[in-house]
């Protein structure tokens, strides 16, 4: 075997190794952000499960505030639908925007509920309401941490996908577009747990 044949085989092997490593890295990074989104999904589902408990506990005291309670449940249901759509394709820009909009609406409805609850001292003293409120606040913190981990994983994926030589090979491997971050309107408010004071 001649020297030029050995050099040619080494170059071909190097190119094949490069292609395989780029493909494997793209897959690993996509799996990482999809797993990070699954963690958000777990926390949001927990929060969505707690909201009806909060509404049920408050319902006996808030007979005259039916519209507020119905708005919270409607916003919660819209957020559940947004999460379901987003979980089908984590990273899709349209689905992430839909989830963010639903979460923003839910946050607004919960804020109005919290203002309403302030007017009912007996309700604020309720042990059940305090327990649900604490669980909800804890879950909000977990959502914020999970969202940050997801956004970090998306940023790492997007950065690698846009870098050379991955940017030339990504489309060939089925990674033709960037994954989308999950951003909420009031990012500063989301970073801290909501004030659910009773």
Q: How far is CA 127 from CA 130, 133, 140, 196, in A?
A: 5, 10, 20, 14
- Given a cut of 80, whether residue 193 has pLDDT beyond it is no
Mean pLDDT in residue range 78-100: 95
pLDDT score for 77: 96
CATH of the domain at 99: 1.20.1440.20
Domain that holds residue 154: 3-191
- Residue 62 CB: number of other CB atoms within 10 A? 18
As a whole number of angstroms, the distance between CA 26 and CA 178 comes to: 11
Length of the chain, please?
Answer: 198
pLDDT score for 86: 95
Alpha helices by DSSP H, listed for 65-126, are 66-88, 93-117, 121-124
- Please state the separation of Cα 108 from the chain's center in Å: 18
In a domain, 197, yes or no: no
Confidence of residue 195 (pLDDT cuts 50, 70, 90): low
In a domain, 90, yes or no: yes
- Top-confidence residue, 59 or 138: 138
- Given a cut of 80, whether residue 25 has pLDDT beyond it is yes
In a domain, 182, yes or no: yes
The residues, any chain, with a CB within 8 Å of residue 164's CB and separated by 6 or more, are: none
- What is the percent of the chain with per-residue pLDDT over 70, rounded to a whole number? 93
pLDDT score for 154: 97
User: Rounded to the nearest 10 degrees, what angle do helices 3-59 and 127-162 cross at?
Assistant: 160
pLDDT score for 127: 81
Domains contained in the chain, number: 1
In a domain, 144, yes or no: yes
In a domain, 81, yes or no: yes
Mean pLDDT in residue range 18-34: 95
In a domain, 68, yes or no: yes
- For tokens 């395989």, what's the residue? 20
pLDDT score for 129: 81
In a domain, 196, yes or no: no
- Top-confidence residue, 61 or 45: 45
As a whole number of angstroms, the distance between CA 190 and CA 66 comes to: 26
């Amino acid at each position: 075997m001649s020297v030029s044949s050995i050099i040619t085989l080494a170059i071909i092997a190097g190119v094949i190794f490069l292609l395989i490593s780029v493909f494997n890295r793209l897959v690993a990074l996509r799996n990482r952000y999809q797993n990070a989104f699954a963690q958000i999904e777990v926390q949001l589902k927990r929060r969505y499960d707690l909201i009806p408990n909060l509404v049920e506990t408050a319902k006996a005291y808030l007979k005259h505030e039916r519209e507020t309670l119905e708005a919270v449940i409607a916003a919660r249901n819209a957020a559940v639908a947004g999460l379901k759509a987003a979980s089908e394709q984590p990273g899709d820009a349209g689905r992430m925007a839909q989830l963010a909009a639903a979460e923003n609406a839910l946050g607004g409805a919960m804020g109005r509920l919290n203002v309403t609850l302030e007017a009912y001292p007996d309700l604020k003293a309720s042990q059940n309401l305090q327990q649900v409120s604490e669980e909800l606040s804890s879950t909000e913190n977990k959502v914020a941490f999970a969202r940050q981990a997801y956004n970090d994983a998306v940023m790492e994926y997007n950065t690698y996908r846009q870098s050379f030589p991955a940017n030339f090979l990504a489309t060939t491997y089925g990674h033709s577009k960037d994954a989308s971050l999950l951003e909420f309107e009031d990012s500063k408010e989301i970073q801290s747990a909501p004030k659910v004071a009773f």
